[in-house]
Amino acid sequence: MTLPTTLDEAVAALTAMPAAVPVAGGTDLMAAVNSGQLRPAALVGLGRISEIRGWQYQDGHALLGAGLTHARMGRPDFAALIPALAAAARAAGPPHIRNAGTLGGNIATAAPTGDALPVLAALEATLIVAGPGGARREIPVSHLLAGMEMLRAGELIGYVRVPLLHAPQVFLKATGRTGPGRAVASVALVLDPARRGVRCAVGAIAPMPLRPLDAEHWVAQLIDWDHRAIVPEALHAFGEYVAAACIPDPAPAEDGSVPQLPPAVLHLRRTVAALARRALGRALS
């Protein structure tokens, strides 16, 4: 395994060995190797690249290194900056996984159950990607998750740029039997008081986080922003609105009747509604 100490060295190593695969904490990659899904010809370890293990400030944003572990993001100083990402990091698997697993690995794996992903979608975060010859380009996280843009050969996620909103943020996750601590549904919700906006993303129920944009705009107008308050009826309706946007009713049948959602899907929809309602209630409390 090659162990570069800078991002550009890592990119150079990957460019020189096109069959090599980058590995950060190894929690996803080794699971794929152990199950026989992946047989990398060589590995480029990212664990010694100190420049991507912390964060820095840049124009009202935080530039988060892709090598930040979930354990590090879960600590109080990070939680004071980006509370929803800290909450997601604290929920991401058992302690040994949080100690090794990284933000960059979570994004690159892009599993529906990736806990950081709905938070990054709600925050409208951007990736800074490092490429050959010191090149840097930016990709909205949502574009990568939607498959609209991909990492090219030799490229690595270097940093994630996240706006610092200085306002309440919440991440909530419902778990089930899909794996140890994996989300069945999750909701990330951030308030943007400067723009009087609410941004919400629902994770785990689709291949990528879903943004219920109409529900966000609708509820933002019902919030008393001076007192950060909302009437209970609107809070309840917001949960239903988010859930119906993400898990719509089936199309009417030819005879005009509306088929019922299967019980498991109905249950999931109720879970999403409860998470969204609770998330907004908590953000405004």
Ligand X SMILES: Cc1cc2nc3c(=O)[nH]c(=O)nc-3n(C[C@H](O)[C@H](O)[C@H](O)COP(=O)(O)OP(=O)(O)OC[C@H]3O[C@@H](n4cnc5c(N)ncnc54)[C@H](O)[C@@H]3O)c2cc1C
> Which residues contribute to the site for ligand X (CB under 6 A)?
21-29, 31, 46, 66, 92-93, 97, 100-102, 104-106, 108-109, 113-115, 151, 156-157, 180-182
When the beta carbons of 129 and 230 are compared against ligand X, the nearer one is: 129
Distance separating alpha carbons of residues 181 and 141, to the nearest angstrom: 24
Minimum distance of ligand X from residue 37's CB (angstroms): 11
Tokens coding 103: 């933000």
Distance separating alpha carbons of residues 48 and 249, to the nearest angstrom: 49
For residues 154-181, one letter each, b for 16 or more C-beta atoms within 10 angstroms of the residue's C-beta and e for the rest, the string is bbbbbbbbbbebeebbbbbbebeeeeee
Minimum distance of ligand X from residue 190's CB (angstroms): 18
Provide the pairing of β-strand 42-45 with 20-23: parallel
Minimum distance of ligand X from residue 213's CB (angstroms): 24
When the beta carbons of 70 and 245 are compared against ligand X, the nearer one is: 70
Distance separating alpha carbons of residues 210 and 118, to the nearest angstrom: 8
When the beta carbons of 180 and 256 are compared against ligand X, the nearer one is: 180
| Whether the Cβ atoms of residue 14 and residue 22 lie closer than 8 Å to each other | yes
Minimum distance of ligand X from residue 188's CB (angstroms): 12
When the beta carbons of 8 and 192 are compared against ligand X, the nearer one is: 8
Count how many Cα atoms sit within 13 Å of the Cα of residue 247 in the half-sphere of its side chain.
Answer: 23
When the beta carbons of 14 and 219 are compared against ligand X, the nearer one is: 14
Minimum distance of ligand X from residue 155's CB (angstroms): 7
